[in-house]
Amino acid sequence: NAGVTQTPKFQVLKTGQSMTLQCAQDMNHNSMYWYRQDPGMGLRLIYYSASEGTTDKGEVPNGYNVSRLNKREFSLRLESAAPSQTSVYFCASSEEPNSPLHFGNGTRLTVT
Amino acid sequence: KQEVTQIPAALSVPEGENLVLNCSFTDSAIYNLQWFRQDPGKGLTSLLLIQSSQREQTSGRLNASLDKSSGRSTLYIAASQPGDSATYLCAVRGVNNNDMRFGAGTRLTVKP
């Protein structure tokens, strides 16, 4: 029972480089989310997808793009990484918006 | 804008003690409130979800209460154990959006 799987676990980028964070869930959930977690600030929503084929901005979307590739997969792309994007990124999913969230183990990203 | 606050930021108790973690939110128009546990370097694990129409939820030694009118929730942990040591976060989903707003968490240490 894998749940929510994120890759990679760790990543170091130089300023201006691009990368894609991958997320897949095997629970047949409709909704998927990308959060970032910074010390002392809690988790903040970057983007979410309420269902396959739809995506919407969250609280902090600037500098990011997302793709809901199919029902299982939801990727997050940084086109031109900045030091302010150094953070821990979490993907989550839920059966519907009013259901419990299930989280992956996170991707620790450092931008130098 | 919904603001979620958790006080204290850190708490240390001896094993066996009963304890209460606090969560407050500024906008009472919520869909649900969820409590999570986060272990170091890991993702978040859902503990309890309380719908807006409910007053409390229980799971084992955990009991979560919700008072929408006062904008407060508490997580009660009975007979604490060293294995309960973790960071506990609460999150609130508003009725007008698909965004869960998180508190910064309370870091709990249970000493043997």
Residue A14, φ and ψ in degrees, nearest 5? -95, 155
Look at A97 and B49 and tell me if their CB atoms are within 8 Å: no
Residue B98 reports pLDDT greater than 80: no
| Cβ neighbours of B44 in A, within 8 Å | 43, 90, 92, 101, 103
**Residue B34: per-residue pLDDT:** 96
Residue B97 reports pLDDT greater than 70: no
- Report how far Cα B13 is from the mean position of its chain's Cα atoms: 17
Residue A15, φ and ψ in degrees, nearest 5? -55, 130
Distance from CA of B47 to the nearest CA of A (A): 9
**Residue B1: per-residue pLDDT:** 83
Instruction: List, for residues B64-85, the tens digit of each pLDDT value.
Output: 999 999 999 999 999 999 999 9
* Cα–Cα distance, B63 to B75 (Å, whole number): 6
| Cβ neighbours of B34 in A, within 8 Å | 100-101
From the list B32, B43, B102, the residue facing A105 with the nearest CB is B43
From the list B32, B41, B98, the residue facing A50 with the nearest CB is B98
* Cα–Cα distance, A13 to B54 (Å, whole number): 46
Structure tokens at A19: 């990368």
B39: nearest CA in chain A? A105
The closest of A53, A58, A16, A68 to A36, measured between CA atoms, is A58
| Cβ neighbours of A99 in B, within 8 Å | 49
Instruction: List, for residues B3-31, the tens digit of each pLDDT value.
Output: 999 999 999 999 999 999 999 999 999 99
Residue B89 reports pLDDT greater than 90: yes
Across A1-112, the runs of DSSP E, i.e. the strands, are 4-7, 10-13, 19-25, 31-38, 42-49, 56-57, 64-68, 74-78, 87-94, 102-103, 107-111
A108: nearest CA in chain B? B41
For residue A49, the tally of other CB atoms under 10 A from its CB is: 21
| Cβ neighbours of A104 in B, within 8 Å | 43
**Widest CA span of chain A, in angstroms?**
38
Tens of each residue's pLDDT in chain A, 112 residues: 679 999 999 999 999 999 999 999 999 999 999 999 998 778 999 999 988 889 999 999 999 999 998 999 999 999 999 999 999 999 999 998 778 899 999 999 999 9
Q: How far is CA A50 from CA A5, A80, A95, A100, B99, in A?
A: 18, 26, 10, 14, 10
**Residue A1: per-residue pLDDT:** 63
Disruptive mutation site among A103, A107, A108 for chain B (greatest number of B CBs within 10 Å): A103
Mean residue pLDDT of chain B comes to: 94
**Residue A99: per-residue pLDDT:** 86
Distance from CA of A89 to the nearest CA of B (A): 10
**Residue A42: per-residue pLDDT:** 84
Distance from CA of B4 to the nearest CA of A (A): 9
